[in-house]
């Protein structure tokens, strides 16, 4: 078996699993964050569900540590009260990013399983563990049962050959992977990384790379720990670990050799992490702000690299530089090493540990027309405010902050001439009793034909609305961040059907990106493929989703507002307007079972 197959088999009580198997997986650590946590608690209370094992259950408050938004503050307080009542550990606002805390404290470890409402929980691939971000229903089920179902993914093996250039950082490495594979060529795959350059990577570098698996559409980017990494983990936790390695006879969907000698420092252009270009081609683009931190680049190695560029220099006039370590322990170490002083002397704002620039609440947002260069893992439109965001390595961001425009230390010597470059009580029962009635498996309605690929969750349901926990309030915000469809919620009618392209729902783990359509009464959503977390969330919410092939879609000759019918069980789709029909992939048995129950927690 491959690495992920071995981990899933051992946690499902199976001797062997293979791609396509659906198994119930024991979860070693189950986390909920400060925005998803309130929804998780709501599910538990509404369905009279217990917490199966408080010792394996945690809250992490890292998205908005300051509680600067009233709804965030209310949700955090709501979760703290629940935690006190149940005896659940809270890693509170002073401690930093939950996934990093889990690695550094041994909550996650090689060969273990970890779930969080954080869509970047697959960062655990850095230590050879299985981590997944899931929606709040999945997390509630894991808290109540200790297990969740999971479909064993196909595995891809990447062998990296050659030596990396000295100016190529771990962030540049993963941006080069995004350049090669885009956002969906590795969709729903578990990816194992091998090679001499991989073996030499530190824990911090592996974390940077694994943290962007979600942006590639992959289930996880998995490193096999070596002795050096085990030693580092053991020194942090005081525990001994063994590793899970792929069998020599393991079968992979693909095995690819990649020459790293061609890798170079890149930036991701605003809007999409996979839309990358060399830093050199973007040199001179004026910036207004810069951010160093996030779960991708808030480690000691990242801060040291930034400090080496900033030492003795000043941030350019008119540019704001924000630096946020990923954990409080890293913050303290940076202070002990003198890095905080370097940052402050350069004119940077240094915040307490947390997600910061990725979750706009902690250190603010960028405004309309503002250009930001960031070490974050996402730059979806509207993700960090109303401005434009370029993604880059810590050294590129630091150099750009000093210059006032995009540049990097390997391109030019710094400094240059600096100038302004223009709560409710815990009820024990659900308010309503769900009725036992067969749900319809045949629907018809008019279609919204949205011919776009890679529609991400910020386009579907923007993160500024994530504090909303009531489904009935979510519909009004559906697609209000998708250009051309800002008025979708006002124009949609109950029974409408959405037909769209590849990788629909990429990005965040937010359940609201499904529930907003449920609230509007959308009867079904067809796509060529879905983001892995989005697919789970839709199935778990009993929201009908189906996939088609491009050839099948051509047979239907669809146009916007055509009326179609869909049979979920047979897969038959008819264009009633043009009298055309085809058969697409029908419901899976498990999907129909959850649908008929009214949802995973029904």
Q: Which residues are registered as beta bridge partners of 566? A: 443, 573
Does 430 reside within a domain? no
Contacts of 566 (CB under 8 A, 6+ apart): 442, 443, 444, 497, 524, 526, 544, 546, 572, 573
And the tokens for 501? 């392209």
CATH code for the domain of 249: 3.30.499.10
| Same domain, yes or no: 547 and 460 | yes
| Same domain, yes or no: 328 and 183 | no
| Same domain, yes or no: 282 and 240 | no
Domain boundary among 403, 421, 450: 403
CATH code for the domain of 486: 3.20.19.10
- The predicted pLDDT at position 427 comes to 57
Work out the average pLDDT over 116-145. 96
Does 36 reside within a domain? yes
DSSP 548-572: --HHHHHHHT--TT-EEEEETTT-E
- Of the given ranges (78-87, 418-427, 510-519), which has the lowest mean pLDDT? 418-427
| Same domain, yes or no: 110 and 216 | yes
Average pLDDT of the chain? 93
Q: Count up the domains in the chain and report the number.
A: 3
| Same domain, yes or no: 164 and 42 | yes
Distance from C-alpha of 395 to C-alpha of 274, rounded to nearest angstrom: 20
- Number of other residues whose CB lies within 10 A of the CB of residue 531: 29
Full strand arrangement of the beta sheet holding 497-500 = 545-547, 524-527, 497-500, 442-450, 563-567, 572-575, 580-583
Closest CA to 553 of 573, 533, 537, 571: 573
Domain coverage including residue 386: 266-403
pLDDT band for 425, please (50, 70, 90 cuts).
Answer: low
pLDDT at residue 255 greater than cutoff 60: yes
| Same domain, yes or no: 313 and 357 | yes
Work out the average pLDDT over 39-65. 94
Domain boundary among 243, 262, 281: 262
pLDDT at residue 202 greater than cutoff 50: yes
| Same domain, yes or no: 363 and 469 | no
pLDDT at residue 188 greater than cutoff 90: yes
Does 177 reside within a domain? yes
- The predicted pLDDT at position 434 comes to 46
Q: Which residues are registered as beta bridge partners of 500? A: 450
Does 408 reside within a domain? no
- The predicted pLDDT at position 426 comes to 61
Does 436 reside within a domain? no
pLDDT band for 504, please (50, 70, 90 cuts).
Answer: very high
pLDDT at residue 90 greater than cutoff 60: yes
| Same domain, yes or no: 277 and 289 | yes
- The predicted pLDDT at position 383 comes to 76
| Same domain, yes or no: 7 and 129 | yes
> What pLDDT digit, counting tens, does each position of 315-374 carry?
999 999 999 999 999 999 999 999 999 999 999 999 999 988 776 667 778 888 999 999
Cα angle value 516/131/509 (rounded, 5°): 10
Does 517 reside within a domain? yes
- The predicted pLDDT at position 359 comes to 65
Work out the average pLDDT over 199-219. 97
Domain boundary among 228, 262, 296: 262
Does 423 reside within a domain? no
pTM attached to this predicted model:
0.87
Does 413 reside within a domain? no
- The predicted pLDDT at position 361 comes to 63
Work out the average pLDDT over 241-245. 94
| Same domain, yes or no: 313 and 462 | no
pLDDT band for 78, please (50, 70, 90 cuts).
Answer: very high
- Of the given ranges (154-163, 306-315, 437-446), which has the lowest mean pLDDT? 437-446
| Same domain, yes or no: 208 and 59 | yes
- The predicted pLDDT at position 417 comes to 44
- Of the given ranges (68-82, 159-173, 523-537), which has the lowest mean pLDDT? 68-82
Closest CA to 397 of 541, 296, 535: 296
| Same domain, yes or no: 176 and 291 | no
């Amino acid at each position: 078996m491959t690495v992920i197959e071995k981990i899933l088999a051992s946690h499902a009580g199976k001797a062997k699993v293979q791609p396509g198997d659906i198994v119930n997986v024991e979860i070693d650590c189950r986390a909920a964050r400060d925005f998803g946590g309130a929804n998780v608690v709501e599910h538990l209370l509404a369905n009279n569900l217990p917490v199966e094992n408080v010792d394996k259950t945690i809250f992490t408050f890292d998205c908005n540590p300051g509680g600067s938004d009233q709804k965030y503050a209310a949700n955090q307080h709501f979760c703290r009260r629940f935690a006190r009542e149940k005896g659940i550990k809270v890693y509170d606002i002073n401690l930093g990013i939950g996934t990093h805390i889990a690695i550094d404290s041994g909550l996650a470890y090689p060969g273990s399983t970890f779930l969080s409402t954080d869509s970047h929980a697959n960062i655990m691939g850095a230590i050879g563990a299985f981590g997944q971000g899931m929606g709040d229903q999945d997390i509630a089920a894991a808290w109540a049962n200790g297990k969740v179902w999971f479909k064993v993914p196909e595995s891809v093996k990447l062998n990296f050959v050659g030596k990396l250039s000295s100016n190529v950082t771990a962030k540049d490495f993963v941006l080069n992977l995004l350049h090669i594979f885009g956002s969906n060529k590795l969709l729903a795959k578990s990816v194992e990384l091998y090679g001499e350059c991989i073996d030499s990577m530190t824990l911090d570098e592996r974390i940077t790379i694994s943290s962007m698996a979600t942006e590639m559409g992959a289930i996880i980017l998995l490193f096999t720990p070596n002795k050096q990494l085990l030693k580092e983990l053991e020194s942090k936790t005081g525990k001994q670990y063994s590793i899970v390695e792929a069998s020599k006879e393991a079968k992979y969907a693909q095995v690819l050799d990649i020459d790293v000698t061609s890798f170079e420092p890149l930036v991701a252009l605003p809007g999409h992490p996979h839309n990358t270009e060399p830093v050199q081609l973007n040199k001179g683009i004026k910036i207004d702000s810069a951010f160093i931190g996030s779960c991708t680049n808030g480690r000691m190695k990242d801060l040291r690299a930034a400090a080496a560029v900033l030492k003795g220099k000043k941030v350019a006039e008119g540019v704001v530089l924000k630096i946020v370590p990923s954990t409080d322990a890293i913050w303290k170490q940076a202070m002990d090493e003198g890095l905080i002083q370097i940052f402050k002397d350069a004119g940077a704002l240094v915040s307490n540990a947390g997600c910061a620039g990725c979750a706009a609440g902690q250190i603010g947002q960028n405004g309309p027309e503002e250009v930001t260069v960031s070490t974050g893992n996402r730059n979806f439109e509207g993700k960090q405010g109303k401005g434009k965001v370029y993604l880059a390595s810590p050294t590129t961001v630091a150099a750009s902050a000093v210059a006032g425009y995009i540049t990097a230390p390997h391109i030019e010597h710094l400094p240059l001439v600096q100038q302004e470059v223009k709560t409710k009580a815990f009820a024990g029962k659900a308010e309503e009793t769900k009725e036992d009635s067969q749900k319809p498996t045949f629907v018809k309605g008019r279609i919204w034909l949205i011919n776009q690929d890679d529609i991400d969750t910020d386009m579907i349901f923007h993160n500024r609305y994530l504090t909303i926990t009531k489904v009935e309030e979510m519909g009004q915000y559906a697609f209000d961040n998708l250009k051309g469809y800002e008025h979708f919620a006002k124009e949609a009618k109950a029974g409408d059907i959405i037909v769209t392209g590849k990788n629909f729902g990429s990005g965040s783990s937010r359940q609201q990106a499904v529930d907003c359509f449920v609230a509007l009464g959308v009867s079904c959503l067809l796509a060529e493929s879905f983001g892995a977390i989005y697919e789970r969330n839709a199935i778990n919410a009993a929201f009908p989703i189906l996939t088609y092939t491009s050839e099948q879609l051509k047979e239907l000759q669809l146009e916007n507002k055509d009326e179609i019918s869909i049979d979920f069980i047979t897969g038959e789709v008819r264009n009633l307007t043009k009298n055309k029909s085809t058969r697409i992939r029908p419901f899976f048995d498990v999907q129909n079972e959850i649908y008929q129950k009214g949802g995973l927690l029904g």
